[in-house]
């Protein structure tokens, strides 16, 4: 039996996973994804290190359905692997979680408390933790936070122009896509890039988009803020929006702003 680590990335419309030998750098043994979840075009794709590929149509599958199927495939295809650890991507860690955290009942309760900060992502991440704990009760489960890479930004890039008490209560620019940014930095360092003395701009472009300024290997400023809505225009998010565009007018959908008339 070979010890392995499972990485789970649960997004708003997908579940992606990768399995690698524990403490053994190199290519993953298995990786795959369930995408377009909640639609008639939902699909599970599984890849193996021997270049084999499997596809399975799962119309209407939910995140929970997809996770059960993905993990069942894993158990069927590689019964020789013992999942010793599971790393869970969690979008929002609030101001409490600034580094990977072993999952405990107290941590799960704290993550439930901040669901309103990322309502499209956080419930799915928490659901994935609970499902994986049921399937792999002996594994060590660790929550890894997209916000953690941005913790410790300079105050002027972290605070809004609001009274300080709001910052102390947690209204701040958390930043997101931090795990992707950290992965890029790790890869650059492995290639010999002088990361500790460099200044970078990392663009994360997909259905969700952000740009992060990195100095000496750490986040200095990022386009996303308190939630994942700020910054660049995205697939289903408008990005930065001037508050002057919003009007307390029940007929605003039918009227252009006065200045445009």
Task: Write out the catalytic residue numbers.
Answer: 146
Residue 187: half-sphere exposure toward Cβ, Cα within 13 Å? 8
Those residues with Cβ within 8 angstroms of residue 260's Cβ, 6 or more apart along the chain or in another chain: none
Q: For the packed helices 105-113 and 122-135, what is the interaxial angle rounded to 10 degrees?
A: 160
How far is residue 47 CA from its own chain's centroid?
21
- State how far the Cα of 208 lies from the Cα of 233, in Å rounded to an integer: 8
How far is residue 123 CA from its own chain's centroid?
12
Whether 19 and 4 have beta carbons less than 8 Å apart is answered as yes
């Amino acid at each position: 039996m070979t010890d392995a680590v499972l990485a789970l990335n649960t997004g708003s419309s997908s579940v992606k996973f990768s399995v690698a030998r524990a403490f053994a750098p190199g290519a993953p043994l298995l990786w795959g994804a369930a995408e377009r979840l909640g639609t008639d075009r939902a699909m599970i794709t599984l890849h193996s290190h021997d270049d084999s590929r499997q596809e399975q149509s799962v119309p209407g599958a939910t995140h929970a359905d997809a996770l059960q199927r993905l993990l069942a495939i894993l158990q069927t295809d590689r019964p020789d692997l013992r999942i010793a650890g599971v790393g869970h991507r969690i979008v929002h860690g609030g101001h409490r979680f600034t580094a990977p955290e072993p999952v405990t009942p107290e941590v799960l309760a704290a993550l439930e408390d901040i669901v309103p900060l990322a309502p499209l992502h956080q419930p799915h991440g928490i659901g994935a933790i609970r499902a994986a704990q049921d399937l792999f009760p002996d594994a060590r489960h660790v929550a890894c936070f997209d916000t953690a890479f941005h913790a410790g930004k300079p105050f002027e890039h972290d605070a809004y122009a609001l009274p300080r008490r709001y910052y102390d209560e947690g209204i701040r620019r958390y930043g997101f896509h931090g795990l992707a940014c950290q992965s890029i930095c790790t890869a650059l360092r492995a290639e010999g890039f002088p990361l500790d003395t460099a200044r970078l701009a990392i663009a994360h472009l997909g259905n969700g988009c952000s740009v992060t300024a990195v100095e000496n290997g750490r986040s200095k400023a990022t386009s996303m803020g308190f939630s994942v809505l700020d910054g660049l225009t995205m697939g289903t998010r408008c990005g930065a929006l001037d508050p002057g565009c919003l009007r307390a007018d029940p007929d605003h959908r039918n009227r252009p702003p006065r200045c445009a008339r």
